[in-house]
Chains A and B, each alone.
Chain A
Amino acid sequence: MKNTSRFVPALYILFLLLPIYWLVNMSFKTTNEILGSFTLWPQEFTFENYITIFTDPTWYMGYVNSLAYVSINTALSVAVALPAAYAFSRYRFLGDKHLFFWLLTNRMAPPAVFALPFFQLYSAVGLFDTYWAVALAHTLFNIPLAVWILEGFMSGVPKELDETAYVDGYSFPRFFIKIFIPTIAAGIGVAAFFCFMFSWVELLLAKTLTAVDAKPIAATMTRTASTSGYELGLLAAAGTLTIIPGAFVIYFVRNYIARGFALGRV
């Protein structure tokens, strides 16, 4: 009995980790080894793939570009969502519930639907192939999500806290910045995490709205062949590096996400 209770989760974790292991495994192999034979671990262990990525601007600029528009997008989405979520959680106004639901419907369409209008629009106004193009396009999906998450956290704060602050003499902006934002810091962390993750993994819009200057890493990575033929080892190394920021962010917000789930909002 005790053995099965360990065996089953162990098997599951193994199953989950297998593709990641295989990716990391490949990233330390040469392309020849990957294509030539089936090996459980690198026979000719090499850092060559990583060295290429960190020295070749066409590779490492992909990371810089991705991080740039992801950061802009996350900051923008959370900054815009904060006052919106506050309004939804604290005030009753005509059509508030419908509007709140309608926000979410934006997320129901696949990003592909918006690729063409964004492409045409950004080309016309000269935003095409900039960080802002992708960052703004992603806010379409991230602001509603951030509003939804933040509203949950804000509604968990009794409105008496606001009133106590006013009674104590706080003006609204001072209360919001000095008391309210620190109080819902966990929620802001969770919202920022989801914005980051969406923007980080979203490929289609990022690829369509950029060409050279703002090309994201995912776009660089998905060109499977180059002039030197297949570079599977290089792609695997790039993939491994792409996982790291996500893992890093998840590590910091892991405790708060549980709270977000408890509020039924994530």
Chain B
Amino acid sequence: MTLELINVSKRVGVEQHIYPTDLKLEPGGINILLGTTLSGKTTLMQMMAGLDPLTTGSLQFNGQDVTKTPVQKRNVSMVYQQFINYPNFNVFENIASPLRVAGVAEDEIKRRVGEMAELMKLSPMLNRRPTELSGGQQQRTAMARALVKDADLVLLDEPLANLDFKLREELRDELPRLFADRNCVVVYATTEPVEALLFGGHTATLHEGCVTQFGPTGEVYRNPKDLISAEVFSEPPINHANVIKAGQTITLENGVSWTAEGIATGLADGAYILGLRPHHVMPQQSGKQPVEVSGEVLVTELSGSESVIHFTVGDRTWVSQSHGIHPVEVGAHETLHADVSEAFYFDGSGNRITG
């Protein structure tokens, strides 16, 4: 069971919403679409579902062309960011609705809805209307409806984004388990890199209608293909700066320099863009090759277990993210330590150089 997108694109008027895309989505593990708002996640999902016609390309499900198949005949299900339920049906009827349309027998409907409600902890509110439920329960109802019918393709469009923190964590833990023993292709759209990393599976990074990279989530995170993929898959945003390599010396735009090691030794002389994730910039010396960078502290965010420090590096703002509390004064001149052995190097057009 695979969903294959072949040269799929979407254009509305003169606006290109999705650039030609090839993706092959497999069951077993969640497929994540990672991108900021308006990057085209929802459009791409609607095209996968058959709700939005393709401008070019084709969709294949199990090797069969379904490009022209109407959504009703595709056996897909979808959960949206907004809590979408049928307001005139109670929770039971909401969950049962796909089964009713499919003409499933009454006692079979009762059994399956009962099981699903049990799984989603909705059993006590089966007789209530969706509007009488809390946000979390509403979204569980929507999810129960999506899961009750054994769809071949399950599309989850930021289903947790509108939930409060506690509920989000809870459902986030449950989600992978819900799909563990199902033979269906699951696609999950999110704006949060953390969610992608938690779910594992495969990740496609999206930027302005372009799928910039697709692969196993860990792989995409560790080996971004280009600067944009690295940016999409980094929260707080990845730090970058221009560097120049001459001989075995690499010089940052603010004058700091170090000797190339590891991957950097293979780079030809010239100008590069350096990318370094915030958790490789630390207040204290750590990592394989710490290099001192200093600048004025602009903002500090101290959460219970984590410090995020925004500071200037030359004309740029860099972010440091570290465990523990590292109190620094806003406005102070601080020296931090960038572990350049973890740096990515990109050429002028943003492609990553792997040496």
Where the two chains meet, the residues of A that have a C-beta atom closer than 8 Å to any C-beta of B are: 158, 160-161, 163-171, 174, 179, 182-183, 185
Contact = CB atoms under 8 A, between A and B. Distances in A.
Given A167-B49, A168-B98, A170-B72, A160 B80 contact: yes
Nearest to A172: B72
Interface stretch (B83-91, B321-329, B333-341): B83-91
Contacts of A169: 72, 98, 101-102
Contacts of B51: 163, 166-167
A66 B21 CA distance: 63
The 9 lowest CB-CB distance pairs between A and B, nearest first, are A182-B88, A169-B101, A168-B98, A160-B80, A160-B84, A166-B71, A167-B78, A164-B84, A169-B72
A186 to B, nearest CB: 11
B234 interface: no
Interface residues of B, number: 22
A164 B156 CA distance: 12
A203 B98 CA distance: 50
B97 interface: yes
Contacts of B82: 158, 160
Contacts of A164: 78, 80, 84, 86, 142, 145
A221 to B, nearest CB: 42
A168 B87 contact: no
A210 B286 CA distance: 94
B249 interface: no
B72 A171 contact: yes
26 contacts: A158-B80, A160-B80, A160-B84, A163-B51, A163-B80, A164-B86, A164-B142, A164-B145, A166-B51, A166-B71, A167-B51, A167-B71, A167-B76, A167-B77, A167-B78, A168-B77, A168-B97, A168-B145, A169-B72, A169-B98, A170-B72, A171-B72, A179-B88, A182-B88, A183-B86, A185-B88
A227 B72 CA distance: 70
Contacts of B149: 168
B46 interface: yes
B113 to A, nearest CB: 13
Nearest to A185: B88
Contacts of A179: 86, 88-89
Contact of B84 (A158, A170, A182): A158
B256 to A, nearest CB: 50
Given A163-B71, A179-B88, A179-B89, 16 more contacts: A158-B80, A158-B84, A160-B80, A161-B84, A163-B51, A164-B78, A164-B142, A165-B86, A167-B51, A167-B71, A168-B97, A168-B98, A168-B149, A170-B97, A171-B72, A183-B88
A123 B86 CA distance: 49
A167 B76 CA distance: 6
Interface in B62-116: 71-72, 76-78, 80, 82, 84, 86-89, 97-98, 101-102
B37 to A, nearest CB: 16
A164 to B, nearest CB: 5
Nearest to B74: A167
A185 B142 CA distance: 22
A167 B154 CA distance: 10
Contacts of B78: 163-164, 167
